[in-house]
């Protein structure tokens, strides 16, 4: 079995639709000011299109996107997000989980479910989190850490119900010997301030330690990241993050990139090679790094 899984995150689609004054209420006010003063200079649509074009040339078997298509969750951003997801690939070939900017305000969850449901549901089209998708020997489990928060907060929360469902799901499929990929927006391990963290990360980490997974993919911190979580029986589970897929070079964040995971082998002897591709220091787009993440060469 050979399967190539792609992972990109945090595209923060630009330009942002022009908001009506009536839409700039609550947290959207501070978010809009932040976009105008800083974030619009970071998230470049030409950079994002170059990343997507390069990704298409790699002919991955499946693409995962771990959140933050939107910026301040304006109604028009969800239509733009649906069009972008369709440009990326069909709902069969692309799996999405939401980020905090996608559920920036309470009503945003309704827009997200209406416009993006096909990309964040199980193989029968049933929505809700966690959801599970099977792709041969690969199983994708989608979680949502996206909850509305107060201004100046970007925290995430899974909640007891979702964590219990995740535990049951991982326990149920454990005997099937699949390569289990968990998709989540907020990283389970982060050096970011508490105002940006996953607040129940400790419980998520305990679930992985008890029931196991083979790979955890996330975004949110806009950085190349690898942290190793404890799995059952002394196993180690890589939790891998990527930069924003639209981050321009020289803006103070890791430049735009995405990861490919070449997965091969069999239960008990999985191999997974990570290949990072993105904007290199000289401004070109190409391979940045490559190494064996799971198993041996």
Cα distance between residue 130 and residue 92, in whole Å: 17
pLDDT at residue 295 in the model: 76
Per DSSP bridges, beta strands 257-266 and 236-241 are unpaired
pLDDT at residue 61 in the model: 98
Domain of residue 54, CATH code? 3.60.21.10
Tell me the per-residue pLDDT of 165-204, one tens digit each, with 9 for 90 and over.
999 999 999 889 899 999 999 999 999 999 999 999 999 9
Q: Is the pTM of this model over 0.75?
A: yes
pLDDT at residue 1 in the model: 66
> Does the pLDDT at position 297 exceed 60?
no
**139-163 average pLDDT score:** 97
> Does the pLDDT at position 245 exceed 90?
yes
Mean of all residue pLDDT scores within the chain? 96
Q: In total, how many domains does the chain have?
A: 1
pLDDT at residue 214 in the model: 97
Determine what percent of the chain is predicted with pLDDT higher than 70.
Answer: 99
Are the C-beta atoms of residues 211 and 172 closer than 8 Å to each other? Answer: no
Among positive and negative, which fits the CA dihedral 38, 39, 44, 47?
A: positive
Q: 296: pLDDT confidence band, cut at 50, 70 and 90? A: low
Tell me the per-residue pLDDT of 259-280, one tens digit each, with 9 for 90 and over.
999 999 988 889 999 999 999 9
**46-63 average pLDDT score:** 97
**28-53 average pLDDT score:** 96
Domain extent, residue 131, equals 2-294
pLDDT at residue 132 in the model: 98
Cis-peptide, bond into residue 77, ω within 30° of zero: no
DSSP 236-291: EEEEEE--BTTBPTTSSSPPSEEEEEEEEEETTEEEEEEEEEEE-TTS-EEEEEEE
pLDDT at residue 272 in the model: 97
Cα distance between residue 74 and residue 266, in whole Å: 45
pLDDT at residue 13 in the model: 98
pLDDT at residue 169 in the model: 97
Q: 26: pLDDT confidence band, cut at 50, 70 and 90? A: confident
Q: 25: pLDDT confidence band, cut at 50, 70 and 90? A: confident
Cα distance between residue 30 and residue 234, in whole Å: 45
**236-265 average pLDDT score:** 96
């Amino acid at each position: 079995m050979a399967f190539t899984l792609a992972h990109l995150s945090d595209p923060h689609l630009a330009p942002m639709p022009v908001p009506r004054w009536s839409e700039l209420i609550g947290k959207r006010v501070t978010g809009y000011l932040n976009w105008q003063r800083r974030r619009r200079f970071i998230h470049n649509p030409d950079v994002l299109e170059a990343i997507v074009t390069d990704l298409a040339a790699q002919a991955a078997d499946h693409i995962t996107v771990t959140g933050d298509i939107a910026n301040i969750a304006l109604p028009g951003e969800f239509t733009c997000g649906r069009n972008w997801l369709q440009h990326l690939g069909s709902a069969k070939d692309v799996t999405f989980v939401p980020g905090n900017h996608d559920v920036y305000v309470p009503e945003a969850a309704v827009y997200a479910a209406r416009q993006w449901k096909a990309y964040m549901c199980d193989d029968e089209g049933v929505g809700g989190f966690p959801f599970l998708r099977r792709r041969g020997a690969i199983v994708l489990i989608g979680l949502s850490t996206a909850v509305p928060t107060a201004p100046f907060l970007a925290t995430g929360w899974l909640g007891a119900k979702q964590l219990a469902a995740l535990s049951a799901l991982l326990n149920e499929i454990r005997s099937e010997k699949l390569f289990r990929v968990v998709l989540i927006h907020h990283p389970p391990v982060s050096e970011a301030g508490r105002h940006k963290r996953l607040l129940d990360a400790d419980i998520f980490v305990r679930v992985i330690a008890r029931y196991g997974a083979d790979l955890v993919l996330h975004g949110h911190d806009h950085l190349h990241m690898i942290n190793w979580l404890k799995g059952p029986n002394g196993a180690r589970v890589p939790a891998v993050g990527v930069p924003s897929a639209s981050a321009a070079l020289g803006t103070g964040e890791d430049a735009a990139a995405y990861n490919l995971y070449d997965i091969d082998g069999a239960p008990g002897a999985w191999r997974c090679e990570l290949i990072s591709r993105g904007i290199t220091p000289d401004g070109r787009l190409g391979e940045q790094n490559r190494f064996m993440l799971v198993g041996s060469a």
